[in-house]
Amino acid sequence: MERRAYYRNKGLPWLLIAPQLLLVLVFFYWPTSQALYWAFTLEQPWGGGNSWAGWDNFLAIFHDREYWGTVVRSAFYACCTTALSMFMALTLAVFVDRSLKGTRAFQSVYVWPYAIAAPAAGVAFRFIFAPEAGLVGAINGLWPGIWNPAINGYQALGMIIVCHSWLGIGYNFIFFLAALQMIPRSISEAGAMDGARPVRRMLDLQLPLIAPTVFFLLIINLISSFTDSFGLIDTMTEGGPFGSTEVMVYKIYFDGFKGLDYSGAAAQSIILMLLVVALTFVQFRWVEKRVHYN
């Protein structure tokens, strides 16, 4: 029987949700409307009004080869961070779910990275991967110049990918562990009795049963990779060396706040938003067909 809540005062429900609606209006819809307005106008760098530009800002972006480089780099960054973070989180969740020796002691520790702010993690990893100190410094002592993200763009991008993946492991781990613990033990035990090893049981039995969780985390991680990388990049590389770690979200900041191209940055933010929406739509339209909820 369906249960519903009824209020004698019809204004009470709106009063209860008013704070949330106000937050959404002020921090999402209002900035989005302003970005849309700026994207179709030419905003003066130091103020003083603007003029209508139509599609000129978008056309300038689409004809910019440097911008397309950031799009490709962002897609590569999102795929790598999503795959690495989800794989590590699933591996840890499988070990904890099997109740192996020592996993209970570390069960809460796995979640800690998610509570760390991205700029703080970026500063920590910048010291960890510093070429002149620690383990990396010792390796550079044996093979001089083998690691230096300050001049090697591939190493700098890899360093940020590792840091971003590490930050997302705790969030993914919680969902994977909850999904695995919902699977009846009898299913895994039946597979073990048939001679299936742990990896085979994971691929053939457990993974299909947690497909909805995998699909949900896939969407969340991809969106996070496109939109939440600014703090890491700004504290670790500032987009360098030579723009090799400049992704779409950081280019919006760089062009808008350092290049004072507010209209171009606004147009880039609209493109990024549409890209994320389109990516989510594609996943729900085609990827979800392979997900079984029963």
Question: What domains appear along the chain, each with residue ranges and CATH number?
Answer: 44-290 (1.10.3720.10)
Which one of 38-52, 149-163, 174-188 scores highest in mean pLDDT?
149-163
pLDDT in tens, 104-146: 666 677 777 878 888 999 999 998 898 887 778 888 888 888 8
* pTM score, whole prediction: 0.87
Could you write out the three-class secondary structure of the chain? CCCCCCCCCCHHHHHHHHHHHHHHHHHHHHHHHHHHHHHCEEECCCCCCEEECCCHHHHHHHCCHHHHHHHHHHHHHHHHHHHHHHHHHHHHHHHHHCCCCCHHHHCCHHHHHHHCCHHHHHHHHHHHCCCCCHHHHHHHHHCCCCCCCCCCHHHHHHHHHHHHHHHHHHHHHHHHHHHHHCCCHHHHHHHHHCCCCHHHHHHHHHHHHCHHHHHHHHHHHHHHHHHCCHHHHHHHCCCCCCCCCCCHHHHHHHHHHHCCCHHHHHHHHHHHHHHHHHHHHHHHHCHHHHCCCC
pLDDT in tens, 33-49: 989 999 999 877 676 67
